[in-house]
Copies of this chain bind each other. A is one copy, B any other.
Amino acid sequence: MPETELTLGEIHALARDCLAGNGCDAANAEAVAATVTAAERDGAVSHGLFRLPGYVAALRSGKVDGAAAPVVERLSPALLRVDGGGGFAPGALQAGIPALAEAAHATGVAALAVVRAHHFAALWHETEALAERGLAALACTAYMPAVAPAGAREALFGTNPISFAWPRPGDTPVVFDMATAAMAMGEVQIAARDGHAVPPGTGLNAAGEATTDPAAIAGGGVLLPFGGYKGSAVSLMVELLAAALLGERFSFEAAAADNKDGGPPRGGEFILALSPNWMAAGGPESGADTEAEADAGAGRDWAQHAAGLFERIGQLDGARLPGARRHHRRQDAGPRAVNAALVGKIRGLCEAR
């Protein structure tokens, strides 16, 4: 496929202008464009410009309010809710994440309920933002049915991603962000196009039978959770945390309420922030000789302790720290190769308005 080179600044401007030209106010256009640009910067192209047509469709159909003003509410010292006001999630997160970090620094643990927002991006944006503030973070969100619970043959769960980040002061966080589906449907479609089989456990065909033929999965079949019934349990947990716990929509409810414009449905996101400064200090391995020393932060520090584990992993032939490949790509400040047809399509979406 022909590609065109764009600088990160050009990617940002393209996304921002396209969103602004389709109903986003400046703040929301900036927030979404920053997320799109960070994805392209890290080589996470399926969450980059690739998503813009969906964002625009949701603005044009009126499903998403491009001028939404998110409101942060403090429910308790450890609990926050951000009402996205029916806008895109990046705006809600920009409002909620600093408040969540502040609460976690004040109490050691805090949770953020993101509601009435439309999520269409990776979750590492928010978990990394918390890790960069010295916090461990966990985030998850539901979507629309694409995955059959283990043992079943019909989709009920979303691809339900879960992200976790661990802070490394002075270094990039250790972070993972993964669908709880065995494989994203986009990857299955690419395998079908290229004529490659997918691994057993990826999905079922339209008759509900296990298959390694990606075309049979993409053509009326269904995805399976990663890791069989264990991954299915994790996916169920995501539905409960992102929907039942927050009073937001399950994947099947989101699909029923969605206008099918191709953009993101309304949903909830659960985010947890934990402070190692609070929790590790005074623990048995903190190295402090007395409780008073531990209180004063003496002894071996949590970052040094965790570095010992990462070093062990680094010594294992074949193992890799999650997030490392993406952070490596981030080092490159140069232009990015972007699908030329996609760029043309996005430019058309700006001008058509």
Contact = CB atoms under 8 A, between A and B. Distances in A.
A193 to B, nearest CB: 23
Interface in A306-344: 306, 308-309, 312-313, 316-320, 322
Given A76-B107, A111-B109, A233-B164, A280 B312 contact: no
Given A227-B227, A228-B226, A245-B274, A116 B308 contact: no
Interface string A80-119: 0100000000000000000000000011111101011000
Interface stretch (A28-36, A47-55, A144-152): A144-152
A111 B273 CA distance: 11
A279 B247 contact: yes
Contacts of A108: 75-76, 78-79, 111
Main secondary structure of the interface of A (DSSP, over half): mixed
Interface in A218-237: 226-231, 233-234, 236-237
Interface stretch (A19-27, A282-290, A345-353): A282-290
Copy tally for this chain in the complex stands at 2
A153 interface: yes
A248 B279 contact: no
A239 interface: yes
A250 interface: yes
Contact of A244 (B240, B302, B319): B302
A346 to B, nearest CB: 31
Interface residues of A, number: 83
Contact of A306 (B226, B240, B320): B240
A325 to B, nearest CB: 12
A264 B207 CA distance: 47
Contact of A245 (B136, B241, B245): B136
Nearest to A320: B151
A166 interface: yes
B113 A110 contact: no
A241 B153 contact: no
A280 to B, nearest CB: 4
Interface of A: 75-79, 81, 106-111, 113, 115-116, 136, 138, 148-154, 156, 164, 166, 174, 176, 178, 180, 182, 200, 226-231, 233-234, 236-237, 239-241, 243-250, 252-253, 266, 268, 272, 274, 276, 278-286, 302, 305-306, 308-309, 312-313, 316-320, 322
